[in-house]
Amino acid sequence: MASEQDYAEFYDRLGREYPETRHVHGEDPRRYHHVLSEIRPFAALGSRMLDVGCNDGVYTIPYCASGGVAHGIDISLSLITKAQTKARGLPATFEVGDIEEYSATIQYDLVLMSEVLEHFRRPERAIENVVRAVKPRGHLLLTTPSAGAGVMVLRYLARLFSGRYLVEPYTVVTDGTILGERYGMTGIQYRHDFYYLYALKRWLRRLGFETVKAYTAVHGTYARVPRMLGRLESHVELSRVPLLNLFGETAFLLMRRID
- Nearest CA to 54 among 6, 89, 20, 13? 20
Q: Measured between alpha carbons, how far is 151 from 145 in angstroms, rounded to an integer?
A: 12
> Residue 32: pLDDT band by 50, 70, 90 thresholds?
very high
Domain that holds residue 48: 4-257
Closest CA to 144 of 126, 161, 132, 162: 126
Contacts of 97 (CB under 8 A, 6+ apart): 73, 74, 75
pLDDT band with cut points at 50, 70 and 90 for residue 23:
confident
Per-residue pLDDT at 80 exceeds 80: yes
Q: Which residues sit opposite 215 in a β-bridge?
A: 252
Q: What is the pLDDT of residue 26?
A: 80
Is the pLDDT reported for residue 37 higher than 90? yes
Give the up-direction half-sphere exposure of residue 165: CA atoms within 13 A in the CB hemisphere.
19
Mode of pairing for the β-strands spanning 69-74 and 134-145: unpaired
pLDDT at 209 over 70: yes
Distance between CA atoms of residues 27 and 29, nearest Å: 6
Tell me which DSSP letter residue 24 carries. I
Average the pLDDT over 31-59 and give the result: 96
Alpha helices in 26-149 (DSSP H): 30-44, 60-65, 77-86, 123-133
pTM of the model: 0.91
All residues at 6 or more sequence positions from 243 whose CB lies less than 8 Å from its CB, including other chains = none
Structure confidence at residue 99 as a pLDDT band (50, 70, 90) = very high
pLDDT score of 181: 92
| Residue of 34, 52, 246 lying closest to 147 (CA atoms) | 246
Q: What is the mean pLDDT of residues 175-180?
A: 92
pLDDT bracket for residue 149 (50, 70, 90): confident
Question: For position 182, which CATH number holds?
Answer: 3.40.50.150
User: What are residue 73's DSSP bridge partners?
Assistant: 52, 95
16, 48, 119, 181, 209 from 173: Cα distances, Å: 19, 37, 13, 12, 35
Q: In the predicted model, what is the mean pLDDT of residues 90-100?
A: 96
Compute the distance between CA of residue 116 and CA of residue 193 in angstroms, rounded to an integer. Answer: 10
Comparison of pLDDT for 5 and 168, the residue scoring more: 168
Reported as a pLDDT band with limits 50, 70 and 90, residue 3 is low
Q: What mean pLDDT do residues 26-52 have? A: 93
Cβ of 121: how many Cβ atoms within 10 Å? 14
In whole angstroms, give the CA distance from residue 219 to residue 99.
26
What is the per-residue pLDDT for 6?
A: 85
pLDDT at 235 over 60: no
Closest CA to 204 of 259, 122, 133, 140: 140
For the stretch 53-69, pLDDT in tens is 999 999 999 999 999 99
| Structure confidence at residue 221 (pLDDT) | 45
pLDDT at 222: 43
| pLDDT surpassing 50 at residue 249 | yes
Specify the number of domains making up the chain.
1
What are the strands of the beta sheet with 108-114, ordered from one edge?
92-96, 69-74, 48-52, 108-114, 134-145, 250-257, 209-217
pLDDT of amino acid 229:
54
pLDDT of residue 119: 96
Q: What is the mean pLDDT of residues 200-210?
A: 96
Residue 128, pLDDT score: 95
User: For residue 179, is pLDDT > 60?
Assistant: yes
Contacts of 232 by beta carbon, 8 Å cutoff, 6+ apart: 238, 244
